[in-house]
């Protein structure tokens, strides 16, 4: 049996940009992607702390060290620059593997930078 479990999370990052007329996705600073073990094209869930919106999209690499968190495409209507969001990824694992797995949970600072 396989179950879906938390793989990684960027907890409480700030939206720095919203680009409505872009072809979907969320652009994330590559430093944050590495810390959360996210890869380009990976499906993620976005939870907006400010308004309760939840949506799914995929990751695009942003400039390393920029702190960029940019919501692109129609999902840009679900956020405002300055909103605090949580970016969550999940993985399918065998039950025994899942019991031993430790997710990457990252807590960037107010500028979306790693401590």
- In which element (H, E) is residue 34 found? helix 30-35
Residues 6+ apart with CB under 8 A from 36: 8, 9, 10, 87, 89, 104, 106
User: Which of 25, 66, 89, 101 is flagged as catalytic?
Assistant: 25
CA 47 distance to own-chain centroid:
9
Residue 84, phi-psi category: left (phi > 0), alpha (psi -120 to 50), beta (remainder): beta
Active site residue 89: no
| Residue among 22, 58, 66, 90 flagged as catalytic | 58
Catalytic residue status for 58: yes
Catalytic residues: 25, 58
């Amino acid at each position: 049996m396989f179950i879906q479990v938390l793989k990684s999370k960027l907890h409480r990052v700030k939206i720095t940009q919203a680009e409505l007329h872009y072809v979907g996705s969320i652009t994330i600073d590559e430093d944050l992607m590495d810390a959360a073990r996210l890869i380009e094209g990976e499906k993620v869930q976005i939870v907006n702390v400010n308004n309760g919106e939840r949506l799914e999209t995929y990751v695009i690499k942003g400039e390393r060290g920029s702190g960029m968190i940019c919501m692109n495409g129609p999902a840009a209507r679900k956020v405002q620059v300055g909103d605090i969001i949580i970016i969550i990824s999940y993985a399918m694992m065998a039950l025994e593997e899942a019991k031993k797995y430790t997710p990457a949970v990252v807590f960037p600072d107010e500028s979306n930078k790693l401590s």
